Amino acid sequence: MSETVTLARHGQVAVITIDNPPVNALSHAVRKGIGDCLAEADGDDAIEALVIYCAGRTFIAGADIREFGKPPQSPSLREVLAQLDEFRKPTVAAIHGTALGGGLETALCCHYRVAASSAKLGLPEVRLGLLPGSGGTQRLPRLIGAEHALDMMTGGKPVDPATAMAWGLVDACTDDELLKTAIEFADLKITEKNLPRISERKVANVEAGFFAAYRKKIARRTRGFEAPERIVQCVEAAVSVSFADGMRKERELFRLCRDSSQSAAMRHLFFAERQVARVPDVPKETEVREISKIAVIGAGTMGAGIALSCLDAGLDVAMLDKDRQGLERGRATIEKSLAAAVGKGRISDTQMQARLSRLDLIDDFAALADADLVIEAVFETMAIKEEVFSALDRVCRDGAILASNTSTLDIDRIASATSRPEDVIGLHFFSPANIMKLLEIVRGARTSAEVIASSMRFAKQLSKIGVLVGNCFGFVGNRMLYGYGRENQFLLLEGAAPEYIDQVLTDWGMAMGPNAVGDLAGLDVGYKVRQERTDLPDDPRYYRVADMLAEQGRYGQKTGRGIYLYDNGSRKPIADPEVGEMIRREAERLGVEQREIGGAEIIERCIYALVLEGAKILEEGFALRASDIDVVWANGYGFPRYRGGPMFYADTMGVEKVYDAICGFAERFGPQYWSPSELLARLARDGGTFAELDKE
Ligand code: 3HC
Ligand code: NAI
């Protein structure tokens, strides 16, 4: 018997315990161990029933993702689960923590499932570009019906035991000691004659047209993404063919997913999102400061969103603005958001009240004396930020962390307004701050390791992904956005219609097109930033279309007109022929020749501009890893997860090909924007990849 999987007897009930930290993934050793224990339990007449249980913090969290892409080792999970499915004595899965992927598939091969009331159950394979490949697509619909099963598998979101009980996914749920409850449950089933085997059931009837309607329902959110459609095909098979044929279909489609570039990209992000927490000069043992009392300065769009995010995480928040009106507006924004969450059933009314009770509106800096962390989100003007930080320096206690949410300003200059630059850091949230997962953590020249480690942990407290970046203009995300936006702007002048560019890029997978994003964020915002910058290229074409629209008061959704038109209060963009004509005239004035532009050119110019800037950022040391850049773009800018982020995408295309295209653009459009970075040239020459670079 292996050490990771053991068999112990409790009277007539045997318990198989899996102990494979940290998450009991189904590695080769675990699969073999389960198979061996099943064989032993089968052959032992003194054993009348079996419980499958896990040591540590969780039930099996799935297949071992690190094994994908490596040669398969026997026994496969399918083989082991077939053995479990056919087991002749009652079997019970005792579930705590998270039963995910292959973990839930294991539980579905047991006759019964008993869950701790704090557990979560899910088939999240879709988040890795996969489908459940060990019978999940065939067993889950047989147990809970096609629709719930499809929701769980195409959305990937786990459910709690209360929902699972209501759907028949678990048979019992307990607050008591789980293993004891499961053993007692198994004991009671020893005399059961008809053991329920899911593989022998039929899927409950679905109405004609059900699958067509389901495909339509998920079409928008799964655009260009292969796994969800394949999951639907598997469930169609579960409904229409035998269990064995359904399993064959699942196998075939699972292999296609597993070997696809989409799954490779999503697995890359899975590990990249965990890798970001590792900072070479901030070791794991670095002390972190306790953060429970937050103060937010500035109750505008971002301040209110940040406060909400902290309240959602159970923290106390004091909010301050320069005037009472601003403060009340901020509170109203928070209340409105919470009420909407109650309306959608995401939180209860009691939870809303509890959050509001932790919010304190203050009008005096002196009240910030006991804050653990202050986050400044006032206007984007250096003089105002300096004034705020110097006031904070006077009132905040020793050891308080002083953070700025600036999106463009120099953190070191802000820090120098205080006598404690080691406590100053950038915490760059993304709008809407309570929703977006990304937090750029901007390290100043003197920020201490302790403050960095505490900020990384703070990101986790907020359920966000904190990425440490360096202090350059726009940090990582917005600096790259400039190149992407610039190409969009040039393409407009060269004759591509805004709606065409947006369509091409959303078909490619971006959550929104750049022109719709501009209208959503407000064209006045970028305009103001460009007006204040002194380092912009001397080029009359540079962001000319955006500037022209802003100068005409066409700010976007907020004014009902931007690059698109918006009907009374609607967010749906409508193409405006007048804008096309304005751009045409401007192009003529600037001597830019308009022409027919194909989708491939739009994608290459916009996406390769990201790759090029990303390579420069890496070269200059403003990001720790290429994969950190991918995490920023996947979580802050709607870059399609199934393409893995700009740097992984460059690897997928081949760095040499990307480099050649960039050199081609440099020849065609001039070297001003397209001169390739040294790093890119080196990788192209040596046949290297960004992924290998990260390993160096
Ligand atoms: N395989 C290998 N390693 C895994 C893993 C898995 N399935 N799940 C988690 N890990 C590793 C993480 O990489 C991390 O390693 P590190 O410490 O070296 O960075 C460590 O376990 C802890 O993970 P987290 O930091 O994510 O810990 P959390 O407590 O925040 O979350 C979790 C735990 C909810 C289990 C989360 O890790 C998770 O969602 N894991 C993935 C679950 C999943 O996708 N399962 C399906 C796999 S595919 C499958 O089963 C195919 C089947 O159908 C055939
Ligand atoms: P906003 O204009 O909506 O809010 C700013 C708030 O700060 C106002 O309520 C104002 O009354 C208050 N304020 C101004 N001076 C103050 C002072 N001296 N003391 C206290 N309060 C003061 O601005 P927004 O959009 O919330 O931006 C705030 C900061 O967040 C800026 O630095 C901006 O660059 C940054 N940011 C903005 C993002 C966005 O999408 N809007 C995204 C990420 C960062």
264 belongs to a structural domain:
no
Integer angstrom CA distances of residue 366 from 204, 362, 373, 386: 64, 9, 15, 17
Q: Are residues 484 and 419 in the same domain?
A: no
Integer angstrom CA distances of residue 371 from 267, 294, 419, 425, 432: 39, 6, 17, 15, 24
Q: Which residue is catalytic, options 3, 48, 79, 105?
A: 105
Q: Are residues 40 and 111 in the same domain?
A: yes
Contact 506, 513 (CB under 8 A): yes
Structure tokens given for 364? 């005096």
In total, how many domains does the chain have?
Answer: 3
Q: Tell how strand 91-95 and strand 49-54 pair up.
A: parallel
287 belongs to a structural domain:
no
Q: Is 226 a catalytic residue?
A: no
Q: Are residues 533 and 564 in the same domain?
A: yes
| Ligand 2 centroid distance, CA of 301 (Å) | 7
Q: Tell how strand 401-404 and strand 424-429 pair up.
A: parallel
pLDDT for 2 equals 63
Give the CATH number for residue 556.
1.10.1040.50
pLDDT for 278 equals 95
Domain with 687 in it = 477-621+625-695
Q: Are residues 502 and 431 in the same domain?
A: no
Angle between helices 261-275 and 646-653 (to 10 degrees): 140
Q: Quick check: CB of 128 below 6 Å from ligand 1?
A: yes
Q: Are residues 225 and 92 in the same domain?
A: yes
Q: Quick check: CB of 98 below 6 Å from ligand 1?
A: yes
* Positions in the chain short of pLDDT 50: none
Q: What is the largest CA-CA distance in the chain?
A: 91
Instruction: Report the residue count for the chain.
Output: 696
Q: From CA 323, how far away is CA 325, in angstroms rounded? A: 5
Give the CATH number for residue 308.
3.40.50.720
Nearest C-alpha to atom 14 of ligand 1 is from which residue?
274
269 belongs to a structural domain:
no
Structure tokens given for 499? 């709606």
Bridge partners, residue 401, by sequence: 373
Q: Which residue has the tokens 């802003």?
A: 550
DSSP assignment string, 244-259: HHHHHHHHHHHHHHHT
Nearest C-alpha to atom 25 of ligand 1 is from which residue?
274
Contact 130, 258 (CB under 8 A): yes
523 belongs to a structural domain:
yes
Q: Which residue has the tokens 């690059």?
A: 563
pLDDT for 534 equals 86
| Ligand 2 centroid distance, CA of 613 (Å) | 27
Q: Which residue is catalytic, options 3, 40, 125, 596?
A: 125
User: What does pTM read for this prediction?
Assistant: 0.94
Nearest C-alpha to atom 39 of ligand 2 is from which residue?
431
Q: Quick check: CB of 689 below 6 Å from ligand 2?
A: no
| Ligand 2 centroid distance, CA of 480 (Å) | 22
Residue at which a domain ends, from 413, 448, 469: 469
DSSP assignment string, 51-76: EEEE-TT-S---B-GGGTTS---SSP
Q: Tell how strand 465-469 and strand 424-429 pair up.
A: unpaired
Structure tokens given for 691? 């992924």
Nearest C-alpha to atom 1 of ligand 2 is from which residue?
300
Q: Quick check: CB of 405 below 6 Å from ligand 2?
A: yes
Q: From CA 353, how far away is CA 5, in angstroms rounded? A: 47
pLDDT for 533 equals 84
| Secondary-structure breakdown of the chain: helix, strand, coil percentages, each rounded to the nearest 5 | 50, 10, 35
Q: From CA 630, how far away is CA 625, in angstroms rounded? A: 9
Ligand 2 atom nearest 320 alpha carbon: 20
Residue 573 neighbours by CB under 8 Å, 6+ apart: 499, 502, 515, 516, 519, 564, 565, 566
| Ligand 1 centroid distance, CA of 61 (Å) | 6
Q: From CA 103, how far away is CA 412, in angstroms rounded? A: 48
Nearest to 656 by CA among 678, 694, 682: 682
pLDDT for 568 equals 86
332 belongs to a structural domain:
yes
| Ligand 1 centroid distance, CA of 23 (Å) | 6
Q: Quick check: CB of 298 below 6 Å from ligand 2?
A: yes
Q: From CA 245, how far away is CA 386, in angstroms rounded? A: 68
279 belongs to a structural domain:
no
Integer angstrom CA distances of residue 15 from 9, 10, 54, 94, 102: 6, 7, 10, 10, 19
Q: Are residues 141 and 14 in the same domain?
A: yes
14 belongs to a structural domain:
yes
Q: Are residues 430 and 482 in the same domain?
A: no
Minimum-distance ligand to the CA of 227?
Answer: 1
Ligand 2 atom nearest 388 alpha carbon: 18
Q: From CA 339, how far away is CA 345, in angstroms rounded? A: 10
Q: Are residues 533 and 609 in the same domain?
A: yes
Residue at which a domain ends, from 425, 447, 469: 469
Nearest to 415 by CA among 454, 449, 378, 376: 376
Q: Is 532 a catalytic residue?
A: no
Q: Quick check: CB of 63 below 6 Å from ligand 1?
A: yes
Q: From CA 604, how far away is CA 601, in angstroms rounded? A: 5
Contact 137, 131 (CB under 8 A): yes
Q: Quick check: CB of 414 below 6 Å from ligand 2?
A: no
Contact 58, 23 (CB under 8 A): yes
Ligand 2 atom nearest 521 alpha carbon: 40
Contact 24, 64 (CB under 8 A): no
Residue at which a domain ends, from 469, 487, 521: 469
Q: Are residues 339 and 442 in the same domain?
A: yes
Q: Are residues 116 and 250 in the same domain?
A: yes
Bridge partners, residue 159, by sequence: 121
Measured over the CA atoms of residue 642, residue 646, residue 652 and residue 657, the dihedral's sign is positive
CA 369 to chain centre: 35
The one-letter code for the residue type at 406 is T
Q: Are residues 454 and 505 in the same domain?
A: no
| Ligand 2 centroid distance, CA of 539 (Å) | 30
Ligand 2 atom nearest 302 alpha carbon: 26
Give the CATH number for residue 167.
3.90.226.10
CA 186 to chain centre: 39
86 belongs to a structural domain:
yes
Q: From CA 119, how far away is CA 394, in angstroms rounded? A: 47
Q: Are residues 456 and 493 in the same domain?
A: no
Measured over the CA atoms of residue 283, residue 284, residue 285 and residue 290, the dihedral's sign is positive
Pocket test for ligand 1, best of 64, 65, 258 (most atoms within 8 A of CB): 65
Nearest C-alpha to atom 13 of ligand 1 is from which residue?
271
Ligand 2 atom nearest 329 alpha carbon: 9
pLDDT for 1 equals 52
